[in-house]
Amino acid sequence: MSIVVEDYHKIYGDTVAVAGITFRVAPGEILGLVGPNGAGKTSTIRALAGILVPTRGRVFIDGHDLATEPVAAKAALAYVPDNPNLFATLTVWEHLKFVASVYRVDDWTVHAEKLLAQFELIDHRDALATELSRGMRQKVAIACGYLHNPKAILLDEPLTGLDPRGIRTMRDSIRQRAQNGAAVIVSSHLLSQIEGLCTSILVLHKGRMLMHSSLNRLRQEMCENGRQETLEDLFFRLTEASEPPVSLPATEA
């Protein structure tokens, strides 16, 4: 498994942000991490990126324990936050050059040129980060994340700020990375944007895992007993319940 989370807890003082979640994301899988604001999505994805230290539990990236092998684990992943902070004094091309040097990417210019073309950044290669729109900065951050061909990809609200064409390009790029063997997690509260992208869904609410299942199984569940639910209907039924239901084990898509 490329991403493994075992009994992850995160506590801030008296506040339990995440209360013991366990899941795996296999190579080729795109997991949608969804939940309302305050559900624990950001605390989870930042722990996977090695930014937050778990209060309890273990995280593995490509077989490397983040606690004991942080460099090897982080070398295998890419993390793009919901509002990426680029270097104000670097151009788009210089961002790619910097990332290539950090990850020691051989023949990086060929790959970088392809990424510029894929994300329609060729005309902006010499633009400073401060000259770019919100959507353009998002594209640059994703391109930098893809440059070293990570085996695990963590994307927090990756479609925010993009126009319809940009959203299609981003979706296609995520599917392509998964098809090439990366394990991908997409965190979002906009179910309509990720329903057609993900192969599995994990719903968090108040720090607890309400459900983890393949999308195919979910569609079967939504049609059982005469129900004709949408994924959004299921989401609200789960998160508005007074007590979280038992988590469903993930199955093959």
- Measured CA to CA in angstroms, residue 201 lies from 39, 156, 183, 231 at distances of 14, 15, 14, 10
Counted domains in the chain: 2
Mean pLDDT confidence for 137-165: 93
Task: Say which residue the tokens 């959004």 belong to.
Answer: 232
Query: Is residue 247 domain-resident?
Result: yes
248 and 237 housed in the same domain: yes
Residues listed for the chain: 253
b/e sequence 160-198, b meaning 16+ C-beta within 10 Å: ebbeeebbebbbebbeebbeeebbbbbbbeebebbbebb
pLDDT band at 227 (very low <50, low <70, confident <90, very high): low
What pLDDT, on a 0 to 100 scale, did the predictor assign at position 251? 41
Mean pLDDT confidence for 85-95: 96
Last residue within a domain, chosen from 149, 174, 192 = 149
pTM for the predicted model, two decimal places: 0.89
Asked if residues 38 and 29 have their Cβ atoms less than 8 Å apart, the reply is: no
Last residue within a domain, chosen from 118, 149, 180 = 149
Backbone angles phi and psi of 197, in degrees to 5 = -105, -40
72 and 94 housed in the same domain: no
Q: Report the C-alpha gap between 211 and 42 in whole angstroms.
A: 17
Quote the tokens at residue 234. Answer: 């299921």
Note down the domain range covering 238.
Answer: 1-76+150-253
